Amino acid sequence: MHIGLASGFAHQRGKGYPDQQFVQEEVENLVLAEELGFDSVWITEHHFSDYSMSNDPLQLLTYIAGRTKRVKLGTQVIIVPWHDPVRLAESIINLDILSRGRAILGFGNGLAPHEFEGLRIDQTKSRELYAEILDMVIPALETGVIEGDGKHIQQPRRELRPAPLKSFEGRKFCGSLSGTSMHTAARLGFGNMVLMLPQRGKEMPPDMYAGIWGQVHADGSAPPPPMVSGNYYIDESADYAAEQGHKYLGNTMRAAIRNYSLDKPGTFASIKGYESYEKMTLQPDEIEPYVDNFAKGVVTGTPQMILDRMWELKEIYKPQGFFPHVHFGGMPQSEAVKNIRLFAEKVLPEIKSWQADASIDDRFLEAAE
């Protein structure tokens, strides 16, 4: 079983904690992952807030590639509508070349209005841009040639230099929640990413994406098994782990509510393609109960309790790998490193011994042949 380490670059340590120090520490945590035996590291994309202080995952991963030799490098996720297709394809190719083929691609559609506005992207065109850009980028990553005559982007045919190192088949995923984006992902052969875990006992098998895949692929094939993320807090004391995990995931959710304008009812009612998110907006007195309930989705406990829960998740989702967040919500650097090391020492070896029906690592070997 593949097991990675994810970071949302979730600052939440307050304005008195320098951004520069925080980013440097988060990168060092991901560099440490290779030494500790993790198979991959994963970085998000967000802009303009402390919710996730990672504005260029491909650039950060390219730096980490230069500091490491083995660990695979994943995006969770690149927000497609925010990118020029040529520059996106070029950056992906550069990462893959400089890492000697270690890139894993995760793509998403984006949600936060203030991020679209700050990047000067019309959010009402987001769904169309997602499909249009990926329909140029994904073939280009296989052929080395990019072109497209879309509604929003007319891209002249050009050969990309440097050319792609090798195929990305089997190492591309979607982190989208909407049916429209999932249709595009299925059509392009992506696996799915389970980014947020529900509370124990409320999990639903990944039937939605499998159903969409079946609509797109008439050959009776199944989608690639998913990659599963989520937030985890590990400690030898179960009570302490529960208290700390709940606190830090709550911090991240409060930042998420602000980042996604979920504290501003009426925000999504007039944004084409996003109207369904209006029902997720919250009145002031609803925020803390929502935060408290969401924070119950954190996986906490002793090493054995973490293993027990991850086994349950393995049985539910049948994944080809996990990429947990174990440092989040503004926890101090010392606490983040403690969590990473304890997870690596007490949980990682057991999970790596588990069998998966399909393995992303096998697909890397196939692509290298």
Q: What is the pLDDT of residue 93?
A: 98
Does residue 277 sit within a domain?
A: no
What is the pLDDT, as a whole number, of residue 366?
A: 59
Which CATH number does the domain housing residue 325 bear? 3.20.20.30
**Residue 369: pLDDT band with limits 50, 70, 90:** very low
**Domain total of the chain:** 1
Mapped onto helix, strand or coil, the DSSP state of residue 82 is helix
58 in a structural domain = yes
Q: Is there a contact between 44 and 8 (Cβ–Cβ < 8 Å)? A: yes
For 245-303, what is each residue's pLDDT tens digit? 999 999 999 999 999 999 999 999 999 989 999 999 999 999 999 999 999 999 999 99
Structure confidence by residue, pLDDT tens digits, 121-152: 999 999 999 999 999 999 999 999 999 999 99
Total-model pTM: 0.95
Buried b (16+ CB within 10 A) or exposed e, 55-72: bebbebbbbbbeebeebb
Is the link from the previous residue into 162 a cis peptide, with omega within 30 of 0?
yes
293 lies in a domain? no
Greatest distance between any 2 Cα atoms in the chain: 59
Label residue 272 left, alpha or beta by phi (over 0 means left) and psi (-120 to 50 means alpha).
Answer: beta
Please tell me the predicted confidence (pLDDT) of residue 327.
95
Range of the domain at 129: 2-237+298-368
| Average pLDDT taken over every residue of the chain | 94
Q: What is the mean pLDDT of residues 64-92?
A: 98
Give SS3 for 233.
strand
Please check the confidence at residue 214 and state whether its pLDDT lies above 80. yes
Coil vs helix vs strand at 191? strand
- Is 173 within the bounds of a domain? yes
Residue 197: predicted pLDDT: 86
For residue 33, tell me if it sits in a domain.
Answer: yes
Looking at residue 206, its pLDDT comes to: 65
**Any domain includes 344:** yes
User: Taking the alpha carbons of 276, 107, 121, 146 in that order, is the dihedral positive or negative?
Assistant: negative
Residue 248 lies inside a defined structural domain of this protein: no
C-beta atoms surrounding 163 within 10 Å:
12
Is 282 part of any domain?
A: no
